[in-house]
Chain A
Amino acid sequence: MRYGMAIDTRKCVGCSDCVVACQTENSIPHGYTRDWISETVEGMYPNLALEIRSERCNHCDDTPCVRTCPTGSSHIIEGGIVKVTHEECIGCGACIESCPYDARYFHPEGYVDKCTFCDHRVKNGQDPACVSVCPTHCMYFGDLDDPNSEISKVVAKNKVKVLAPEAGTKPQIFYLV
């Protein structure tokens, strides 16, 4: 079992529904977000290319955040989901510094917070909130270990990239380009 996500940048319009759906589903306090939209424009008028990506914790295979955590608060649960146990987090910030994606932040209550792949939904067989609301159906979530899952097929069939592969974290969010 290895959960992962694939996001089709060719379909994504950057509407940010994933961001606000995450905020409401997970009751994220105002002023903070677990996911976000980035935009890259390349070229010169009128020969332009635009890539829009919905980004979040990559739930890496090689997790510098879990490694650098001094208390064991950052940990990996079934399916490779990286989580933070709030009661064990002292808020030292080492995991924040160790993440090449800047996916973690200090929750105002003192602990470090981040995307959980909505494991509370996943364990009930639902998709993460962001995936479940996406109007363009550009996000896929599922078991990368299962070759018959939709996400495995999408990743196998298309040209994909991951973010900052040179950071060596083996991220598990794949972008279709």
Chain B
Amino acid sequence: MKTTRRDFIKISSLGIGGLALSTSPILGWVPSFLKEDDNTPDDSTAKRYPNYCEVCFWNCAGWVYTNKDKDGNEKIWKIIGNDDDPNSNGRFCPRGTGGIGMYYDKDRLRKPLKRVTGEDGNQTFVEIEWDEAIDIVAKKMKEIKTKYGPESFALFKHGTSGKHFATLFKAYGSKNMAGPAYSQCKAPREEGFRMTFGHPLHSPEPLDIRNTRCLVLIGSHLGENMHNGQVQEMSEAIENGASIITVDPRFSTAASKSKFWLPIKPSTDIALLLAWMHVIIKEKRYDIDYVEKNTSGFEQLKNHVKNFTPEWAYGITTIKPDIIRKTAREMAAASPAVIIHPGRHATWYGDDTQRSRAIAILNALLGSWGRRGGFFNPEKAKLPKYPMPAFPKPKWSWRDIAPDKYPLAKMGVTNLLIDGSHPDKKEGHKIKAWFVVGTNLPVTIPNSKRTIEAIHNQEFIVVVDTMPSEMAGYADIVLPEATYLERYDDLRLAQHREPTIALRMPAAKPYAETRPGWKMCKDIAGKLGLSEYFNYNDYSEVLDWQLKKIGSSLDEMKEIGVMKLDRKYNDLYFHEHMEHEFETPTGKIEFYSNGMLAAGFAPMPVYTKHPEPPKGFYRLIYGRAPMHTFSRTTNNPYLMELMKENALWVNPKTAKDWGLKTGQRVWLQNHQGAVSTFSIAVRVTERIRQDSVYMVHGFGRLNKKLTKGYGAGISDTEMVTDVKIDKETGSTGMRSNFVTFLTEEPEKKEKTV
């Protein structure tokens, strides 16, 4: 039972099971109603069920419609937004609309799988019954607990059902849980803002974009990332004549709608931000009253940025000094109705907390925090907790894996858990088993080689997913989860201008033998003697209990889907006459942070030079397409039709140097020698800097069972081996990788990891 035992199993080797899946009457069904053009079904014959979307983290609330197909069976027909939902305002994005593809995907997991080694030594998955699967998982959890303590079992989670598993793990005795939504995404931003304003932003970010006069996007490609409400508000801002300033090495969709596009040299953003501060302070264009009243450390900041002139920044960023001045004045003129967008995926170069601090400071200088057209003060609904016993206290947690590292991290750091799981971890606390829920670690965490080494070092791995993901291929036990369209989950309590509660309820029975996450947790807990933490028969009982406590009920929520509540306080924006207490050590917005200094970091952001592409190499920039959510949707039958693979954007000059043509397929190799498994089609376009190439993240899937996603384009994660860790938060900077083109197919390697 050494490392080879967890070879990646091509789930396609399922054989008969796989065949049965593809001919299944439910998933084979394509909504096709009567032929007559006048008989298109309409809403009058439909039924609707409230839900909130799980295709991305925005969790827009809406309605799932079912209608009768031509055989008279009630089928999921379409999904549309709920008008009362502030996240979507009744309008879903393409992924939410195409969410029915998660239900109708023919490649879905349908029954629990168990890894077995055949007589020939080959490993395959066999389908097993739920009872057996739950037994095995519970037995292993007990075994790990006895051998190493419960803390050695780590939970990686993403999405709403992750909460049920978090409860299970806390009850079991482990707080070693993390999700890529933090360390591979917004950790630096959250902590950078926390160190400045005393408060992180959370999600959805409380940006008053619809009332802004000037929106500054730095590396945020709003519109290509369909953060629904924000895209809607950006459109409203455009309509209202707000000016947009976009800083991006790529002519993004947002850049095309901007008054100023600053095609910055990648990795130099902090220099630009410092130069903007310089201009705004030097020309006294900052919000003087606001700064005086609410901030601390202004003099130090003024002194700090004294020499960071636009001329200084020009040499670094390639942005002309007069453009830097013009844009600084543009945002100052709009102050305080100005937003320097904090971004979301902020893990770029390894000094990301500092960059986020710089963004926060610039916003503070312009007085936009707590102001109309800037950052509003969000409010979130509160619900009573369903009664359960207190959790046992774990002996150690993820932080103890490397006690002296990442002092600013406030949530589980995925890569730290992987460090704790890796064979090179010789001393101290170690992770021995993984429970992975709804997150595809080999595709999500950079340096997948290291992730896979850690995987091989585990004694047991359980994967909960709806799809045969890459991660599922490494599991010992795969538990097939019902999609969000087939299950109850917790009520959504999203922060926004006004608090709301949104319900998710099933619109169809769980497909095949899939089960909702809460049910798996309840059953496992039962075997572990932890039933008192899951004291219900159906999760709807929990929801009904909570809703009745606030004077509503499940039945009422089924009718309305979203309940709007009144704000407790009238404090959406600051009141000009009132003093504000910030949750920082000084009680003020901190330009200068003693906390940063004490933790061993620069108290004010500084520009550091980052590596640049060697000759013949180009910086790999990755991003989003509006119709995909990372690898989550790259097999969705609806969304794959909108974009079936990613393309490599190449500047015409670069293309000329290499003789590349649009449509030509190339393979990539990065500066550390990593070669892409698959090829990608070149798109020659003026929309990208000459020193960079761009692709959409989430493609190039490696699991053959994904009939649409397998081999479609390149996975950028394969090209991200050089990871720059942000010392403050431990998050993984992924934008310092440089690639070159291989026009011939490189020597074959096994195409499934």
Contacts and interface: CB of A to CB of B under 8 A. Distances in A.
B91 interface: yes
A135 B94 CA distance: 9
B76 to A, nearest CB: 9
B599 to A, nearest CB: 39
A134 to B, nearest CB: 7
B94 A29 contact: no
Given A11-B239, A20-B627, A20-B639, A133 B91 contact: yes
A41 B32 contact: no
B685 interface: yes
14 contacts: A13-B254, A13-B257, A13-B626, A16-B627, A16-B642, A20-B98, A24-B79, A24-B98, A25-B78, A50-B251, A86-B37, A120-B41, A126-B43, A136-B232
Interface in B354-378: none
A110 B94 CA distance: 28
A105 to B, nearest CB: 14
B261 A15 contact: no
B235 A45 contact: no
Contacts of B231: 13, 15, 135-136
Interface string B22-39: 000000001111011110
Nearest to B686: A45
Contacts of B43: 121, 124, 126
A31 interface: yes
A33 B639 CA distance: 12
Given A24-B79, A30-B30, A109-B35, A15 B627 contact: yes
A1 interface: no
B253 interface: yes
A29 B642 contact: no
Contact of A16 (B94, B100, B651): B94
A52 to B, nearest CB: 7
A161 B100 CA distance: 35
Interface in B644-671: 651-652
B642 A13 contact: no
Interface in B79-95: 79-81, 88, 91-94
A14 B643 CA distance: 12
A137 B638 contact: no
From A11, A17, A111, residue with most partner B Cβ within 10 Å: A17
Q: Which range holds the interface residue count of chain A?
A: 35 or more
Interface stretch (B144-152, B222-230, B328-336): B222-230
Given A27-B33, A48-B687, A136-B232, A120 B40 contact: yes
A135 B96 CA distance: 11
A15 B226 contact: yes
Contacts of A24: 31, 77-79, 97-98, 100, 638
Nearest to A120: B40
Contacts of B41: 27, 120
A135 B77 contact: no
A50 B256 contact: yes
A136 to B, nearest CB: 4
A10 B223 CA distance: 12
B132 interface: no
A121 B44 CA distance: 10
A30 B238 contact: no
A19 B686 contact: no
A156 interface: no
A138 B235 CA distance: 8
A30 B91 CA distance: 23
Contacts of A16: 94, 626-627, 642-643
Nearest to B688: A45
A63 interface: no
Contacts of A21: 78, 80, 94, 97
Contact of A46 (B232, B235, B263, B652): B263
Q: Which 6 A-B pairs have the closest CB atoms?
A: A13-B223, A50-B256, A136-B235, A15-B626, A24-B78, A17-B94
Given A15-B626, A27-B33, A20 B97 contact: yes
B113 to A, nearest CB: 27
A165 interface: no
Contacts of B31: 24, 27
A84 interface: yes
Contacts of B626: 13-16
A120 B97 contact: no
B91 A135 contact: yes
B709 to A, nearest CB: 15
Looking at B35, B236, B637, B686, the one whose CB has the most chain A CB atoms below 10 A away is: B686
Contacts of A87: 35-36
Contacts of A17: 91-94, 97
A33 B641 contact: yes
B641 A135 contact: no
Interface in B471-501: none
A116 B37 contact: yes
Chain A at the B interface: SS class: loop
A26 B77 CA distance: 9
A45 B689 contact: yes
Interface in B88-129: 88, 91-94, 97-98, 100
Contacts of A134: 91
A56 interface: no
B335 to A, nearest CB: 25
A84 B43 CA distance: 22
Interface string A64-94: 0000000000000000000111110000000
Contacts of B686: 41, 43-45, 48
A23 interface: yes
Nearest to A50: B256
A27 B254 CA distance: 32
B107 to A, nearest CB: 14
Contacts of B92: 17, 133, 135
Interface string A108-136: 01010000101011001010000011111
A21 B95 CA distance: 10
A14 B592 CA distance: 42
Contacts of B224: 13
B73 to A, nearest CB: 14
Contact of B638 (A20, A41, A120): A20
B80 A41 contact: no
Nearest to A30: B637
B253 A48 contact: no
Contacts of A33: 641
Given A16-B627, A24-B97, 19 more contacts: A13-B224, A14-B253, A14-B626, A16-B626, A17-B92, A21-B78, A23-B638, A24-B100, A26-B40, A27-B40, A29-B32, A45-B652, A84-B37, A126-B43, A133-B92, A133-B97, A135-B231, A136-B234, A137-B236
Contacts of B38: 120
A46 B80 contact: no
Contacts of B261: 46, 48
Nearest to B232: A135
Contacts of B689: 45
A115 to B, nearest CB: 12
Contacts of A19: 94, 642
A49 B258 CA distance: 10
Given A45-B686, A48-B686, A49-B256, A11 B642 contact: no
B268 to A, nearest CB: 16
B226 A10 contact: no
A138 B32 CA distance: 29
A135 B238 contact: no
Contacts of B652: 45
B365 to A, nearest CB: 28
B330 to A, nearest CB: 18
A50 B445 CA distance: 33
A60 to B, nearest CB: 18
A28 to B, nearest CB: 9
Contacts of A86: 35-37
Contact of B235 (A23, A52, A137): A137
